[in-house]
Structure 1
Amino acid sequence: MPRSNGRMTTARERHQAGTALDHPRSATGLEQLRHALRGRPPRRVPPLPGEPRWCSGFVARDVRGPRVSLREFGYAGHELNRSHGVVDDTALAGPVRILTPQGLDHLAEVCDRLEPAAGTSRFITTRRVRGADRASAFLYNMVRDRAFLLACSRLAGVPLVPHPLRLPTVQINYFEPSDGHDLVKWHTDGMDHVLTLQLTGEEDYDGGRFTYFRGRADAFASVRAGDPRLVEAPCGERGAALFLHGSRVFHAVTPVTRGRRVTLVVSFLCPYLARRDSNTFWHLAADDGIAATLPHWLRLKWPVRDPAVDFGLRAASPVITWEDLWDAP
């Protein structure tokens, strides 16, 4: 990432990020419940024919990048999850390149071909394909590939599997100039560990800036434009990947005013911390409707004997262990 170089944004960029407060926040309370009651599951997308084949060699080697901890966001030590002597403390990591150029080109091709199946939502993100790995063998195999999972796990600092809830596991977002509604509202995610990958570069569009609040989620309500804790993430290059502790970091994307912006969003679960995962039923149901959320959510909450193995099986995924994280790449 030579352009961002792991730097923090300038004062000018922070001022621009402050204007993101002008666009809406996701619904809460009764309005969130109304979204859930009105919500309909995304339509099932037919399998994509003739797509490229996924290959483990598409994962870049030695994926490392700058990291900001949840403590730097104001969270206290006792609020953070722990397992095997490790604290789940990564608030944000990246930007990094997690795929090779060839892998990125194939991924962009797949996501472009899935765009006709995109549906709309008024809850958080306007135009997207949910559960995209159910329609694409390339995406399905990518997010369950051991090399890809290991790279993401080392970036996050905890072992990860694709989120077993299925619909939120892989989402493709499409943004183009519109009447101002193609955006991502201010929100926290319904799960803890989320990776966003840029499939178009900032030279292809204007606007579309990923902005986050560098503070506790419960402090966001008092934020005003110009607050220095509103930061624009330097992740606009094509191929840039950004990891986020989504349930604890308020974030948004400003409207695209020119061109086209496409991102892939992958949600993960740390099986060793499954009982303390922050996902909430009404957040997920507000996105996909109660009927689509309830069966998977109940299965997710069933007690388990061996969380790593059990959740790995549920996600049809290899299991990444703590020892895998500590071993040299």
Structure 2
Amino acid sequence: MPRTATGVDQLLHAVRARRPRRGPGQSGEPRWRGDYVVRDAAGPRVSLQEFGYASRELGRAHGRVDDTALVGPFQLLTPEGLDCLAEVCDRLEPAAGTSRFIATRRVRSADLMSPFINNMIRDRAFLLTCSRIVGVPLIPHPLRIPTVQINYSEGHGRPEIVRWHHDGMDYVFTIQLSDGDCYDGGRFTYFQGRTGEFDDVTEHDPRIREADCRARGATLFLHGSRIFHAVTPVTRGRRVTLVVSLFCPYFARRDSNTFWHLAGDDGILATLPNWLRLKWPVEDAAMDFALRAGSPVVTWEDVRG
């Protein structure tokens, strides 16, 4: 099974990578509204223990266990909100960059380029809904470059560029912005097993599953750092997705990011300042990281509702 680069290849890419491209701020884009969030959003859930993780490996705080592996698909945004988000992502496409390290054209740190996206991921209704889906308090990730990414995939007939990988981020939401009837391929697949068991997996392994997220607006939550996953090649049409990485400040010291995982995407110079900011000692985790992320504080009591 083809995988993303690691080891020396990842190091070389980190050294050579340029800073992520920045486009101009968007003028005339729609305004974000809190009522674009589907407040009672819910979907089918799979636990980390169903992926083979032991109870002792799971995070615990305030009487709750961080055991959610996958939720979805579900609708996170209303039809009007989804239309506005799709319009914003279309406007940002000229800023998308390419790399041999990734399979798609993409825009990184999209929240720094769009007031709509910035306000969406820092809206209390959005964060509360995402937090209740996962079962832990979430805020935007303090590492600003990978917090919001837009992926643009077109039919290219190059299946060799698809790579299985697991994320550095722990709490990842992917929102489908294209109707599945408008493209072929682009299917979200994942391995229902521990990451350490993936080395000998073949494409016919019964633990390779598919999450049916082809409907426009379909949203999938994935505990990205603990699940190997891939998207099959888009062979016809165009597929656009928005990927939002959130963060639980109460589990800050368990964050799964490694420096080289991040630098392999964005380069050493772009990663270093954010990395030092993330790892700086904290006193009050919830308040400290909320201030760093420019986010309202979300508590365990909020998640319980």
TM-score interval w.r.t. the shorter chain? over 0.9
Listed as ranges, the matches of 1:221-300 within 5 Å are 221-300=199-278
Alignment deviations for residues 138-193 of structure 1 (CA, whole Å, 9 cap, x no partner): 00000000000011111111110111110101000000012416965210001111
CA distance in 1, matches of 2:204, 2:43: 27
Whether the aligned pair in 1 keeps the contact of 2:173 and 2:244 (CA below 8 Å) is yes
Q: 5+ unaligned residues in a row in structure 1: which ranges?
A: 1-20
Residue 122 of structure 1 and its aligned partner are, at CA, apart by 2.3
1:72 aligns with 2:50: yes
Aligned residue identity for 1:239: G
Alignment deviations for residues 73-108 of structure 1 (CA, whole Å, 9 cap, x no partner): 000111111111211111101111000000000000
For normalisation by structure 1, the TM-score amounts to 0.91
CA distance in 1, matches of 2:74, 2:160: 26
Q: 5+ unaligned residues in a row in structure 2: which ranges?
A: none
Aligned with 1:222: secondary structure?
coil
Aligned to 1:172: 150
Whether the aligned pair in 1 keeps the contact of 2:152 and 2:240 (CA below 8 Å) is yes
Higher mean C-alpha displacement, 210-219 vs 116-125: 116-125
Identity %: 70
Distance 1:87 1:183, change over 3 A: farther
Aligned residue identity for 2:29: E
Whether the aligned pair in 2 keeps the contact of 1:198 and 1:264 (CA below 8 Å) is yes
CA distance in 1, matches of 2:159, 2:25: 29
CA distance in 1, matches of 2:196, 2:13: 22
CA distance in 2, matches of 1:106, 1:159: 26
Residue 121 of structure 1 and its aligned partner are, at CA, apart by 2.1
Aligned with 2:198: secondary structure?
helix
Aligned to 1:118: 96
Aligned residue identity for 1:229: R
CA distance in 1, matches of 2:90, 2:210: 26
Aligned to 1:208: 186
Aligned with 2:70: secondary structure?
strand
Listed as ranges, the matches of 1:8-19 within 5 Å are none
Aligned residue identity for 2:18: R
The alignment's C-alpha RMSD in Å is 1.1
Whether the aligned pair in 2 keeps the contact of 1:183 and 1:256 (CA below 8 Å) is no
Greater than 3 Å deviation, 4+ residue runs: 181-184
Aligned residue identity for 1:105: D
CA distance in 2, matches of 1:183, 1:256: 11
Distance 1:102 1:197, change over 3 A: same
